[in-house]
Amino acid sequence: MLNVRSDNESSNDPRWSAVLALLAVGGLYYAMPDPLTLGPGWLLPAVIVLLLVPAMAARRAGYSRLNYVLGLLLSAVITIAMIWSLALLIAGLLQKRQAAPELLRGAVALWFTNILVFASWYWRLDAGGPNARADRAFHTEGDFLFPQMMLPPSLAARQQRWKPGFVDYLFLAFNTSTAFSPTDVPVLSRWAKILMMIQSVISLGTIALVAARAVNIL
């Protein structure tokens, strides 16, 4: 049964930032060398648009459950494509099938894609997802402990009903890919810890194993 969302949308979580991130993933994937993509380079951007349009339409029509499911499917598709490309990148490095410039271009594109993909996962899953967070007056519980959640009530009231937006999860994903840790945001749930470990492994693979080796053979 489809659930109709509440009209209480959070101004702190504009959806356009998440949409732009997904479109950027498609652009990065299209810019990758053809031997490193899953199918033609235009296939993943086309799939992103094909899933994004009905997801946005479902949200506007008030079907939050359908919007949530389509969002999960979209994140799953781009994650599979990214991991597939990483495997091709490592295989190309070991078998020396691609030139060093192609390896570098693919590694850079995958590193940025990794950040955007996992930022999307964190944004989509934390505390029930953006639709569930929008229905709450305050964000006091979740899978990540943001600094604003630890403020005393007197200071929390000054945050104008703060809720985490996509940029907060993007910052979290960026720190995970660069410092291999969540820095100022403790991780509380097991699924979030597992996703962060996967993201760190992918980042380590693109930076330490692939990019460094490609530089050495230039």
Q: What is the pLDDT of residues 12-40, one digit of tens each?
A: 557 889 999 999 999 999 999 888 888 88
pLDDT at 216: 64
The model's confidence at residue 5, banded by pLDDT at 50, 70 and 90, is very low
The model's confidence at residue 147, banded by pLDDT at 50, 70 and 90, is confident
Contact between 57 and 114 (Cβ < 8 Å): no
- Distant-in-sequence, close-in-space partners of 143: CB < 8 Å, separation ≥ 6: 125, 126, 127, 187, 188, 189, 191, 192
Q: What is the pLDDT of residues 94-103, one digit of tens each?
A: 777 667 777 7
Q: How remote is the C-alpha of 15 from its chain's centroid?
A: 13
pLDDT at 187: 87
Euclidean distance between CA atoms 129 and 121, whole angstroms: 9
Query: For the range 200-203, what are the long-range contacts, defined as Cβ-Cβ under 8 Å and sequence gap of 24 or more?
Result: 200/176, 202/82, 202/83, 202/86, 202/110, 202/114, 203/111, 203/114, 203/176, 203/177, 203/178
